């Protein structure tokens, strides 16, 4: 089992990776048709909101005591799953 610090580092690294993906999607949105650009832009806004929520959960996790972090971890795992699916969905528009 990962320690709290290892878990936080892993989650922050994944969040950084998704930030790079969102930046790439934003840059490439100009290549799409107007209709597709509007749809991808809406997905990007939703992704940024989910990322902000995930960052907040990471902060809560960092501040939590050793005994409480496992409870917070399950909520963060759910948020991570949702963000991953949303990033994959948005990226699929460019394949």
pTM: 0.74
Most confident of 10-14, 26-30, 80-84, 85-89: 10-14
Range of the domain at 9: 4-92
| CATH code for the domain of 45 | 1.20.120
Distance CA 16, CA 35 (A): 28
pLDDT in tens, 25-80: 888 888 888 888 888 888 889 888 888 888 888 888 888 877 777 777 777 788 77
Taking CB atoms within 8 Å and a gap of at least 24, the contacts of 25-33 are 25/90, 25/91, 25/93, 25/94, 28/94, 31/94, 32/93
What is the count of structural domains for the chain? 1
């Amino acid at each position: 089992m990962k320690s709290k610090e290892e878990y936080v580092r892993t989650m922050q690294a994944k969040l950084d990776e998704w930030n790079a993906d969102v930046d790439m999607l934003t840059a490439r949105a100009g290549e799409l048709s107007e209709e597709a650009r509007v749809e991808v832009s809406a997905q990007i806004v939703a992704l940024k909101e989910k990322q902000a929520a995930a960052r907040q959960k990471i902060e809560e996790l960092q501040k939590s005591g050793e005994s409480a972090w496992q409870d917070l971890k399950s909520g963060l795992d759910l948020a991570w799953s949702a963000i991953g699916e949303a990033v994959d969905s948005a990226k699929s528009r460019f394949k």
